[in-house]
Structures are given as C-alpha cells and as structure tokens.
C-alpha cells in the first residue's frame, strides 16, 4: 500500500510540475525573434530630392481615442472646432490603428515603460531608441506636467522644456505656460543670433506633448500655436500633425485601438469629398462623427514614422516597419517614386539583416530563405525600379516600389517566426513523452507486460534520443532562450523512463485491437473484452455480432470465488 501511495504521489507531483511548465507553451509556441538588430547592421536610406517641408510641428495627447477627437454634439458645435475646421478645409484625417498583434504583445511585455511611441520609432518595441527625432537637425520639446517627456538623448541638439506646473488640477495652466513660453522664445530669444539660427534650420522638429489635459483646451492651444508658427514662418514650409500616444500605465483591456491622426500644412493633400475618392474607408464611425462626406485615410501607428521622415527629408528610422502612406502626401510624382523607393530599400535592409543573422545561427544546409524575396529577386526588383526612375516612368517605379515594400513586410514576418517549427517540435516531443510515460505507469503492473529486451530498448533509445538531441542542438545553435532547454531536458527524461520500463510491442499486441476498433468501428474479440472486463465481483460478457448489443451482466464463474 505504501508503494502505491508513493507512486501516486510521485506521478501527481510530476504532473503538477509538468503542467505548470506547459502553461508557458502557448506563449513560447508563438515565439518571435523581436530583439532589435544593431544599428550598425543597417544602412540608412535617403533620397536626394528637396522635401516639401522644412520643419515639423507635432501635437501629442495621451490616451485619446479617435471618438474623443472626432465626436460632435451637433454640426454647429463640434467638441474640437479647430481640428474640425482643419479636417474640412486644410488637411487629411483618419484613424491610426494600434491594433497589430505585435503591438499588443510588445505593449504587454514593455508595460513597465512610461510611454509607447510607435509613431516615432516605426515599431512597437520599446527597446528601440532610433526615432524620427534622432535624424532631425534640431529638436525642441515642450511637455505638460502629466505628459511623458522624451529622453533627451535624441542624437541631436535638443531643447527640452517641461512645465513647472505640477498640480493635477492645473492642466490648463500647463497649456497656457506652453503658449507663453513659445512666444517668449521666438519673439525675445529669437532675436539672439544663436537662437535665431537654430529656429530657422531645416529638418527641425517642434514636439508638444499636452498630456491628459482637457481636449477642448488642447484644441484652443493647437489653434494658437499653429497660428503663431504660420505668422512667424512665412515660407509655408511647416507641416502640422496631431495624434495620440499610449501611456505605459494603460492595460491591454483599456488600450485605445483607434487613435486620431490629422495632418495639414506643407506637403499634405487638401480634403477630398466622398464622390471624388477611390480609396475612401467609410463605416458607421465616419457617419457617427458627421464626416461621412470626406475621404478618410486610415493607417497603422508604425506608418506615421516614415511619413514624418519623408516630409522633412530625414532618413526613416532604421528599425521602422512602417509603409509610407502616399495618400497623405501632396508633391510631384518624382518625389513620390523616390520617397517610396527609399522606404522599400529601408525595409529591405531589415530583411537582409534578419536573413544574415538567422543564417549565421542556422546550419547552412537547413537554412530556408523567404522564397518570394531571394537575393536574385531583390537585385532584379531594385534594378528595374532604378531604371524606371531614370527613364521617368514614375508610376511604374511607384507601383513596383509598393509591391517590393509589401514583399519586404512579408519577409520580415517570416523571419520573425522562423524558429517556431523547431520550438513546436521540441514541445511536441515533451508532450508525447509525458503521454508515453503515463502509459507505462498504467500498464506496468500487468504481469504480461515485461520490459523489452535490451537490444530493442537500445534501438528505441537511439531513434528517439537522436531526434530529441538533434532538436536540442538546433535550439542551442540558434541561440534560443535558455528556458527552452527545460523542455528539451524534460523530453529526454520522460522518454528515457518510458522506454526503460515498458514493452511497447506487448502493449501494441494487447491493446491495438481496441485502438483500431475505435478508428474503424469494429468491435474486438470477445476474449479480449472478457479478459479486460472481469473482476472478482462480476464481469461483463458481450456477445459479438456485426453490430454491438446491450451488455448482459451475469454472475462471475465459480473459479473467481
């Protein structure tokens, strides 16, 4: 009795330990290689054409949804009258989606960070410090008391001004401070030679983070600031962008998936009515906001980074996964073709770097490059696009660049999940090893089940261990996370115990008829059923015919007493 109790306790403890380990399986099966590549592994991509804007003004609010920005009580009284007038008269608008599956994964994993800014990095990973700001010639940043001020290490000379107002109840005071500080900077300090030169530099970014202040007050502040910029810079070379950021203290459930995005000024198309648009996305949201007659161009948060970079002529962030939303840009076709080609080349740099990294971590004869974008295909496409641009076949160059960018995105996704097959195989080995071990526990007390002879056990060991050891070597060689080796060791131990204590041939001979009958619907022999169903109190006798009959319970034979 003690032996049975110890055996049950051991199996139960092992089962709890194993199933606790397997709780991580759903996450690890979807394993993705998300570590950012070193910056020196990527070459920046630039085009030589003059950009449409000399400076960029960013208006950022925290955790504001598209409904917050676009909702309207009635046609004559919108919640944000200035933004409403921009949408109707000056620029383009849409929904910026924060809904990519990678976004949710990375947001959850990086929830300890204070802010997530994919519109500046082009990626949802907060491990990436390369942003649109890093390649600007000058960055000026204003933050309200509850906004997330950016890291001052942007790679450029940065002026960071943070609101001295700290009381939560004085959000509007922070906005007033911003307006006063800007006027003082431009009108007073701007007369100084050094400050004046810095303010007039090209490729300059002015970043305003309003935090979580009242949106109607933010709307007024944006109107005042944009009017001031238009009056100060009379060259009509300023681009304005309004969008939202996601604070790190938000949860997945409260994550705003639809963020506002409005752009106007230099290089931005004017509004288009519904009947003149070929790509308008209209649904119940546009109608609910009273904007169903205007073209709405939606985009992913990561697509904003290449748009901002192209507008002021800086390089796209090296790790950006965004695709340039060309339907926002108003400029000549040559600029379109060159800009999208540089975006496609930047994505190809990511593909090449990921491919080289994986190739160096894989056995040469096992490496499988993405078949739609091999080195030969990449070279051929780049040669064709360059030829089209030289021949002034700009529409053909643009179409081919868009196709190349789409293939590059597919290739990046392919290489991100490249290791999933080996991960799934080692986990399958672990689960099958556990099932085999349970079979040995349930059958080894049967006196007919003698262990297999040593030669056959040696063959089983060789076949299964060769497979598992091969997978373990691949995990180690490919630089997989260390805890994956726990799956590997668990599979080895379980299969070792199962093979050592069980005669699989005897199990197959005795129970295969049950398995086959379950698959093809044929009932096994009455002798087998008799042997398995008898005990010292009663037994079940089933008379077999071409179809199953109701069981008849009868008294056990006399020799059982």
Residue 542 placed within a domain:
yes
What's the pLDDT score for residue 368? 86
Question: What does the pLDDT look like over 160-181, one tens digit per residue?
Answer: 777 665 444 455 677 778 888 8
- Among 16-25, 62-71, 456-465, the range of highest mean pLDDT: 62-71
401 and 360 Cβ atoms separated by less than 8 Å: no
Do 316 and 177 belong to one domain? yes
Number of domains in the chain: 4
Within-domain flag for 2: no
Q: What is the mean pLDDT of residues 232-241?
A: 94
Determine how many CB atoms are found less than 10 A away from the CB of residue 399.
15
Q: Flag whether 27 is in a domain.
A: no
Q: Which of 182, 176, 135 is nearest to 161 (CA)?
A: 182
User: Do 308 and 132 touch, CB atoms closer than 8 A?
Assistant: yes
Are residue 458 and residue 537 in the same domain, yes or no?
Answer: no
My answer on whether 172 and 250 are in the same domain is: yes
Average pLDDT over residues 446-457: 55
Kindly state whether residues 441 and 409 are assigned to the same domain: no
Cα–Cα distance measured from residue 434 to residue 277, given in angstroms and rounded to the nearest whole number: 60
CATH code of residue 77: 3.40.720.10
Task: Rank 97-106, 170-179, 273-282, 528-537 by mean pLDDT and report only the highest.
Answer: 170-179
- Same-domain status, 393 and 460: no
| In the chain, % of residues over pLDDT 70 | 66
Q: What does the DSSP assignment read for 110-169?
A: TTTSSEE-HHHHSSS-TT----GGGGSSEEEEEE-TTS-PPPS-SSSEEEEEE-S---GG
If asked whether residues 282 and 378 sit together in one domain, one would say: no
- Of the candidates 287, 271, 210, 265, which has an alpha carbon nearest to the alpha carbon of residue 243? 210
As a whole number of Å, the CA-based R_g of the chain is 33
Structure tokens at 313: 């002529």
How would residue 26 be classed by pLDDT, with cut points 50, 70 and 90?
low
Cα distance between residue 262 and residue 91, in whole Å: 7
CA distance 111 to 24: 19
User: What pLDDT, on the 0 to 100 scale, is given for residue 238?
Assistant: 96
116 and 213 housed in the same domain: yes
Structure tokens at 215: 């949106």
Shared-domain flag, residues 363 and 297: no
6 in a structural domain: no
Instruction: Please indicate, yes or no, whether residues 132 and 255 belong to a single structural domain of this protein.
Output: yes
Q: Are residues 228 and 80 in the same domain?
A: yes
pLDDT digits (tens, 9 = 90+) for 517-545: 555 544 444 444 444 444 433 333 333 33
Predicted confidence band of residue 323 (pLDDT cuts 50, 70, 90): very high
Higher pLDDT, 478 or 223: 223
DSSP state of 249: T
Q: Pick from 330, 345, 363: which residue ends a domain?
A: 330
pLDDT range class, residue 39, cuts 50, 70, 90: low
Lowest-pLDDT choice from 47-61, 148-162, 325-339, 427-441: 148-162
Q: Mean pLDDT for the chain? A: 75
**Pair type for strands 55-62 and 258-265:** unpaired
Domain assignment of residue 539, yes or no? yes
* Sign of the dihedral through C-alpha 451, 454, 460, 464: positive
Closest CA to 561 of 539, 528, 543: 539
CB 325 within 8 A of CB 307: yes
Task: For residue 537, give its domain range.
Answer: 523-560
pLDDT for the residue numbered 384 = 95
CB-CB contact of 303 with 325 (8 Å): yes
Helix, strand, or coil (residue 24): coil
Answer yes or no: do 135 and 205 share one domain.
yes
CA–CA dist 239, 86 (Å, integer): 13
Give the integer Cα–Cα distance in Å for 500 and 143.
67
Last residue of some domain: 395, 416, 437? 416
Number of H helices, E strands in the chain: 19, 13
Whether 182 is covered by a domain: the verdict is yes
Last residue in a domain, options 307, 330, 353: 330
Residues 317 and 340 in one domain: no
- What does DSSP assign to residue 301? G
Residue 121 CB coordination number (10 Å): 29
Residue written as token pair 């190739």: 359
Query: Rounded to whole angstroms, what are the CA distances from 19 to 183, 434, 436, 483?
Result: 63, 10, 15, 15
* 26 Cβ contact list (under 8 Å, min separation 6): none
C-alpha 410/C-alpha 416 separation (Å) is: 10
Residue 16 lies in a domain: no
What number is the average pLDDT over the span 54-58? 96
CA distance 303 to 15: 47
Distance, in Å, from the CA atom of 95 to the CA atom of 280, rounded to the nearest integer, reads: 12
> 304 or 117: whose pLDDT is higher?
304
Show the DSSP H helices in 329-372 as ranges: 333-360
Any domain includes 461: yes
Residue with tokens 């005795």: 510
Residue 65 pLDDT greater than 80, yes or no: yes
């Amino acid at each position: 009795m003690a032996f049975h109790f110890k055996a049950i306790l051991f199996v139960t403890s092992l089962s709890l330990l194993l199933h606790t380990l397997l709780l991580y399986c759903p996450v690890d099966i979807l394993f993705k290689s998300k570590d950012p590549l070193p910056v020196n592994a990527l070459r920046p991509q630039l085009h030589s054409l003059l950009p449409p804007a000399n400076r960029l003004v960013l208006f950022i609010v925290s955790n504001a949804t598209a409904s917050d920005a676009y909702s309207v009580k009635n046609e004559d009284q919108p919640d944000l009258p200035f933004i409403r007038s921009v949408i109707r008269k000056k620029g383009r608008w849409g929904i910026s989606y924060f809904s990519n599956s990678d976004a949710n994964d990375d947001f959850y994993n990086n929830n300890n960070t204070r802010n997530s800014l994919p519109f500046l990095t082009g990626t949802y990973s907060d491990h990436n410090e390369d942003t649109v700001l890093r390649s600007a010639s000058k960055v000026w940043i204003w933050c309200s008391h509850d906004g997330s001020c950016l890291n001052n290490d942007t790679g450029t000379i940065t002026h960071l001004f943070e609101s001295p107002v700290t009381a939560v109840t004085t959000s509007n005071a922070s906005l007033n401070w911003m307006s006063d500080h800007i006027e003082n900077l431009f009108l007073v300090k701007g007369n100084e030679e050094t400050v004046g030169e810095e303010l007039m530099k090209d490729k300059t970014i002015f970043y305003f983070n309003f935090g979580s202040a009242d949106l109607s007050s933010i709307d007024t502040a944006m109107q005042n600031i944009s009017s001031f910029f238009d009056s100060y810079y009379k060259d009509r070379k300023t681009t304005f962008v309004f969008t939202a950021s996601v604070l790190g203290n938000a949860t997945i459930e409260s994550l705003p998936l639809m963020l506002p995005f409005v752009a106007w000024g230099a290089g931005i198309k004017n509004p288009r009515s519904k009947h003149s648009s070929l790509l308008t996305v209209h649904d119940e949201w546009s109608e609910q906001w009273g904007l169903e007659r205007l073209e709405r161009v939606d985009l992913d948060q990561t697509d904003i980074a290449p748009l901002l970079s192209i507008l002021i002529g800086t390089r796209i962030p090296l790790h950006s996964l965004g695709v340039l939303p060309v339907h926002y840009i108003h400029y000549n076709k040559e600029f379109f073709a060159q800009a999208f080609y540089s975006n496609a080349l930047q994505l190809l740099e990511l593909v090449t770097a990921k491919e080289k990294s994986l190739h160096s971590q894989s056995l040469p004869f096992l490496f499988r490059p993405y078949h739609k974008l091999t080195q030969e295909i990449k070279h051929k496409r780049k040669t064709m696009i360059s030829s089209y641009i030289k021949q002034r076949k700009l529409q053909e160059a643009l179409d081919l660049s868009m196709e190349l960018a789409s293939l590059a995105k597919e290739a990046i996704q392919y290489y991100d999940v490249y290791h999933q097959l080996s991960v799934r195989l080692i986990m399958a080995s672990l689960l099958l090893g556990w099932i085999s071990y349970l079979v040995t526990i349930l059958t080894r007390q049967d006196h007919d089940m003698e262990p297999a002879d040593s030669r056959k056990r040696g063959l089983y060991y060789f076949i299964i261990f060769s497979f598992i050891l091969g997978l373990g070597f691949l995990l180690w060689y490919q630089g997989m996370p260390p805890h994956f080796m726990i799956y590997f060791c668990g599979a080895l131990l379980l299969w070792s115990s199962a093979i050592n204590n069980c005669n699989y041939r005897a199990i197959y001979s005795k129970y295969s008829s049950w398995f086959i009958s379950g698959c093809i619907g044929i009932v096994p022999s009455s002798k087998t059923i008799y042997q398995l169903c008898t005990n010292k109190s009663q037994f079940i006798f089933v008379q077999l015919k071409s179809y199953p009959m109701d069981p008849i319970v009868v008294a056990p034979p006399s020799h059982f007493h």
